[in-house]
C-alpha cells in the first residue's frame, strides 16, 4: 500500500514491491478478511427491481469455497481453465476466488459475446468448466460439440440440457463442511488468469497473468484514486467485470483492501440512473470510462439534483479533454485522474490529483514500481518531448507471463528489455506522459477497445462477402464507431438490406458492441506489395 507523500519523486523512488514466495489471490481478497471479521461488508448489489442485497466476506468465503469444492469434486486439476461468463454479479467474485483457491486459471468472458467469439476463446484456452447463466449456457450449447475439452457448465439461475444449476449443490446451511476449502499452495509466479485482448490482426490473444499481477496493479489503482483506500470508501464502475478495467482496476483490488464494491446491472444504462445510484449507495470512488462520463455530462446541473459525496474518480481507455475535466470538477467536486495501461501490463501510469497538477493533454506519471520511457524501434530511450513508442521496463510487477500458446506474438511484444505497448507518445521534462496515438488499428468505441481482426474474420464468413476491412470512424458520441468496407462476391448487389443483414450477422456471432454501424461496398482495396490491406488508406469520414 502506498504511503501518502506529497513529493512524487520521493514516492516513486522509494517504492519497492517484494513478492512473497507463496501467494494466492483468492486467499488475499477473501480469506484474510473473513478470518478478521466475517461480517465485514464486501459487496452491495442493486437488483434490477431496485432492491438492495449486501454480501459480507463471510458470504464470499462460503460461496467461493462451495464452488471450489464442486470444481474439485468434478475433476478440476491445477492449471485447468475455468471460464466465467457473467455480467456484473456476486457470482463473478465467487467464481474468481474459487478458481484461484483451487489452483485453476480463471478466464473472464464478456456476457454479450456471441457463439463464434465464445468458440474461439473457450477452445483456445482449453476451458474445462464454465460458470454462467441460462443465457450463456444456451449459447454454449450451440457450440458444445466443437469444444472437446469442456466437461461441465454450471448455471447460476437455472438448469437445462447440458448445464446444471450450481445452487443445487451449494449448501444453504452456513455450518456445512462443504463451505470450507483448504486453498491450494500457489506461488507469486503461478499462472492464475487468462484475459483475451481485442484481435488487432487475426484472432484475439490470451494474456496469461500470474497471481502476483494483483500486487502489481495496486500502486496504479491507489494512485489514481488519490491514495485509495480511505475510511468510508465505497467503489463502483459501470465497466463490465469481464474486462481487465472492471476486474483488476476495481473489483479485485477493492476486495484486497476490504473496500465494499457496488454491483449493478442496469436494465438500461442512463445518466439519471447512474446519478441516482451514486447518491443512494453513497458511492465515494468510481472508475468511469470516458464514454460514461460523456453520457453523464448530458444531464443539466446534476450537482443540484443529487446529493453526492464523491472522493475520487479514475478514468482510462482514452484521453479526457479539458471540457470533460472541467465538468467533472464542477459536478463531483474532484479532479478526475486518468490512468494508462493495457491487458498485458496494466495500471502502469496515472494522475494523482492529491499530489500533482497534471497539465492538459497529459495523462499522469509512471506509477510506483513501474519505469516508463519513450523508445525508438531499436530500443533506444528518446529525449524528452520526442515522439516514439511508449514502453515499460521488463521488471514491471504487472507484466504478463506470455500470450497463451502464442510464442511468436510474445516475442514481438518486447524490444530488448522493454515491453512495447503499441502506442505512440512522448514524455516531457517533468516526466508527464502524453498519449499521441495507436500504432495498431484498435478501435475505441463507447469505452471498449475493439480489434478489427476478429470482426473481419466474422464478416468474411457471410455468404455475400469476398473481402473485408474494418476501421474506426471518428464519432462525437462514441469516440469511434466500427466501419466496414466490403467487396461482394459475384451475384450480389449492394443494398441497404444487405448492409443490415451483414451487421446483424456480426451482432449475433460476436457481440452487440462489435457490429459495424456503417458499411461501404467497394470494388478494390488499397494493398501493400505483400498483399495486405492498408487500413490506414481507407477513408475515415
Taking phi over 0 as left and psi of -120 to 50 as alpha, with beta for the rest, 376 belongs to beta
Number of neighbours of residue 164 by Cβ within 10 angstroms: 17
How confident is the model over 74-89, as a mean pLDDT?
97
Is the pLDDT reported for residue 528 higher than 90?
no
Residue 34, class by beta-carbon neighbours within 10 Å (0-12 exposed, 13-18 middle, 19+ buried)? Answer: buried
> Nearest CA to 248 among 290, 207, 303?
207
User: Quick one: how far is CA 325 from the chain centroid?
Assistant: 23
User: Do 483 and 472 touch, CB atoms closer than 8 A?
Assistant: yes
How confident is the model over 513-540, as a mean pLDDT?
82
pLDDT score of 83: 98
User: Do 392 and 427 touch, CB atoms closer than 8 A?
Assistant: no
Q: What is the pLDDT of residues 142-201, one digit of tens each?
A: 999 999 999 999 999 999 999 999 999 999 998 899 999 999 999 999 999 999 987 545
User: Do 353 and 226 touch, CB atoms closer than 8 A?
Assistant: yes
Q: Helix or strand or coil: residue 257? A: helix
Is the pLDDT reported for residue 131 higher than 60?
yes
Task: For residue 413, name the pLDDT band (cuts at 50, 70, 90).
Answer: very high
What would the 3-class secondary structure string for 142-161 be? HHHHHCCCCCEEEECCCCEC
Spatial separation of the C-alpha atoms in residues 538 and 485, rounded to whole Å: 8
The length of the chain in residues reads: 541
Q: Return the C-alpha cell found at 357.
A: 497538477
How confident is the model over 315-336, as a mean pLDDT?
89
Residue 336, class by beta-carbon neighbours within 10 Å (0-12 exposed, 13-18 middle, 19+ buried)? Answer: buried
pLDDT score of 113: 92
Task: For residue 424, name the pLDDT band (cuts at 50, 70, 90).
Answer: confident
pLDDT score of 530: 46
How confident is the model over 86-105, as a mean pLDDT?
98
Q: Which domains can be identified in the chain, with CATH numbers?
A: 24-186 (3.40.50.12780), 443-537 (3.30.300.30)
How confident is the model over 29-34, as a mean pLDDT?
98
> Nearest CA to 518 among 489, 463, 481, 478?
481
Q: Return the C-alpha cell found at 352.
A: 494523482
Share of the chain above pLDDT 70, in %: 97
What dihedral angle (degrees, nearest 10) is formed by the CA atoms of 245, 247, 252, 255? 100
User: Quick one: how far is CA 29 from the chain centroid?
Assistant: 18
Q: What is the pLDDT of residues 181-191, one digit of tens each?
A: 999 999 999 99
Please give the backbone phi and psi of residue 208, each rounded to the nearest 5 degrees, phi first.
-90, 125
> Nearest CA to 101 among 171, 43, 31, 178?
31
User: Do 217 and 31 touch, CB atoms closer than 8 A?
Assistant: no
> Nearest CA to 270 among 295, 301, 290, 307?
295
What would the 3-class secondary structure string for 298-313 be? CCCCHHHHCCCCCCEE
How confident is the model over 56-83, as a mean pLDDT?
98
Q: Return the C-alpha cell found at 52.
A: 438492495
Is the pLDDT reported for residue 533 higher than 90?
no
Question: In 260-417, which ranges are E strands?
Answer: 261-264, 285-287, 312-315, 337-342, 345-350, 365-366, 372-375, 388-393, 402-403, 414-415
Spatial separation of the C-alpha atoms in residues 92 and 85, rounded to whole Å: 8
Instruction: List for the chain the helix, strand, coil content (%; round to 5).
Output: 30, 25, 45
Please give the backbone phi and psi of residue 396, each rounded to the nearest 5 degrees, phi first.
-55, 130
User: Do 540 and 532 touch, CB atoms closer than 8 A?
Assistant: no
pLDDT score of 529: 44
Number of neighbours of residue 371 by Cβ within 10 angstroms: 15
Spatial separation of the C-alpha atoms in residues 273 and 295, rounded to whole Å: 11
Q: Helix or strand or coil: residue 413? A: coil
pLDDT score of 33: 98
pLDDT score of 318: 73
Task: For residue 268, name the pLDDT band (cuts at 50, 70, 90).
Answer: confident
Spatial separation of the C-alpha atoms in residues 291 and 389, rounded to whole Å: 26
Strands in 312-315's sheet, in edge-to-edge order, are 52-56, 41-46, 261-264, 235-236, 285-287, 312-315, 337-342, 345-350, 365-366
Is the pLDDT reported for residue 109 higher than 80?
yes
Task: For residue 321, name the pLDDT band (cuts at 50, 70, 90).
Answer: confident
Residue 66: strand pairing partners: none
Query: Which residue matches cell numbers 446529493?
Result: 307
Residue 518: strand pairing partners: 483
pLDDT score of 532: 64
Number of neighbours of residue 135 by Cβ within 10 angstroms: 15
Spatial separation of the C-alpha atoms in residues 349 and 131, rounded to whole Å: 33
Mean pLDDT for all residues in the chain: 93
pLDDT score of 317: 77
User: Do 160 and 401 touch, CB atoms closer than 8 A?
Assistant: no
Spatial separation of the C-alpha atoms in residues 502 and 498, rounded to whole Å: 6
More confident residue, 448 or 492: 492
Amino acid at each position: 500500500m502506498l504511503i501518502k507523500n506529497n513529493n512524487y519523486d520521493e514516492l516513486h523512488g522509494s517504492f519497492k514491491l517484494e513478492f512473497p514466495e507463496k501467494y494466492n489471490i483468492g486467499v488475499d481478497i477473501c480469506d484474510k478478511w473473513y478470518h478478521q471479521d466475517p461480517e465485514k461488508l464486501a459487496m452491495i448489489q442493486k437488483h434490477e427491481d431496485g432492491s438492495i442485497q449486501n454480501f459480507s466476506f463471510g458470504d464470499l468465503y462460503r460461496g467461493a469455497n462451495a464452488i471450489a469444492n464442486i470444481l474439485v469434486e468434478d475433476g478440476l486439476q491445477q492449471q485447468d481453465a475455468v471460464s466465467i461468463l457473467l455480467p456484473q454479479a456476486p457470482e463473478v467474485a465467487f467464481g474468481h476466488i474459487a478458481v484461484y483457491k483451487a489452483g485453476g486459471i480463471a478466464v473472464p468472458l464478456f456476457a454479450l459475446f456471441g457463439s463464434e467469439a465464445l468458440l474461439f476463446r473457450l477452445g483456445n484456452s482449453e476451458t474445462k468448466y464454465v460458470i454462467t447463466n441460462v443465457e450463456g449456457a444456451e449459447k454454449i450449447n450451440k457450440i458444445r460439440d466443437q469444444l472437446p475439452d469442456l466437461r461441465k457448465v454450471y448455471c447460476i439461475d437455472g438448469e437445462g440440457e447440458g448445464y446444471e444449476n450450481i445452487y443445487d449443490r451449494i449448501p444453504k446451511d452456513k455450518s456445512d463442511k462443504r463451505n470450507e476449502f483448504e486453498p491450494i499452495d500457489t506461488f507469486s509466479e503461478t499462472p492464475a488468469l487468462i484475459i483475451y485482448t481485442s484481435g488487432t490482426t487475426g484472432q484475439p490473444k490470451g494474456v496469461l497473468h500470474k497471481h502476483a499481477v494483483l500486487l502489481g496493479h495496486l500502486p496504479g489503482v491507489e494512485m489514481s484514486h488519490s491514495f485509495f483506500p480511505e475510511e468510508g470508501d465505497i467503489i463502483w464502475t459501470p465497466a463490465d467485470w469481464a474486462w481487465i478495467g472492471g476486474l483488476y482496476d476495481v473489483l479485485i483490488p477493492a476486495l484486497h483492501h476490504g473496500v465494499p464494491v457496488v454491483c449493478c446491472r442496469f436494465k438500461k444504462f442512463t445518466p439519471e440512473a447512474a446519478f441516482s445510484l451514486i447518491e443512494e449507495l453513497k458511492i465515494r470512488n468510481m472508475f468511469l470510462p470516458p464514454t460514461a462520463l460523456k453520457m453523464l455530462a448530458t444531464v443539466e446541473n446534476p450537482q443540484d439534483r443529487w446529493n453526492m459525496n464523491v472522493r475520487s474518480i479514475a478514468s482510462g481507455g482514452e484521453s479526457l479533454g479539458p471540457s470533460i475535466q472541467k465538468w467533472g470538477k464542477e459536478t463531483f467536486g474532484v479532479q478526475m485522474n486518468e490512468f494508462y495501461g493495457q491487458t498485458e501490463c496494466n495500471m502502469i501510469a496515472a494522475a494523482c490529483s492529491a499530489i500533482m497538477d497534471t497539465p492538459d493533454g497529459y495523462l499522469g506519471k509512471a506509477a510506483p514500481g513501474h519505469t516508463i520511457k519513450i523508445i525508438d524501434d531499436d530500443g533506444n530511450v528518446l529525449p524528452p518531448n520526442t515522439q516514439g513508442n511508449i514502453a515499460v521496463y521488463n521488471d514491471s510487477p504487472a507484466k504478463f507471463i506470455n500470450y497463451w500458446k502464442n510464442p511468436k506474438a510474445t516475442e514481438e511484444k518486447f524490444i530488448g528489455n522493454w515491453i512495447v505497448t503499441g502506442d505512440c507518445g512522448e514524455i516531457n521534462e517533468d516526466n508527464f506522459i502524453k498519449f499521441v496515438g495507436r500504432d495498431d488499428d484498435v478501435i475505441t468505441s463507447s469505452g471498449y477497445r475493439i480489434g478489427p481482426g476478429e470482426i473481419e474474420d466474422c464478416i468474411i464468413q457471410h455468404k455475400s462477402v469476398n473481402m473485408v476491412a474494418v476501421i474506426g470512424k471518428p464519432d462525437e458520441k462514441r469516440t469511434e464507431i466500427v466501419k466496414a468496407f466490403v467487396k461482394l462476391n459475384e451475384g450480389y448487389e449492394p443494398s441497404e438490406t444487405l448492409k443490415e443483414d451483414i451487421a446483424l450477422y456480426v451482432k449475433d456471432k460476436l457481440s452487440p458492441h462489435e457490429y459495424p454501424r456503417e458499411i461501404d461496398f467497394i470494388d478494390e482495396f488499397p494493398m501493400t506489395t505483400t498483399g495486405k490491406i492498408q487500413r490506414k488508406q481507407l477513408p475515415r469520414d
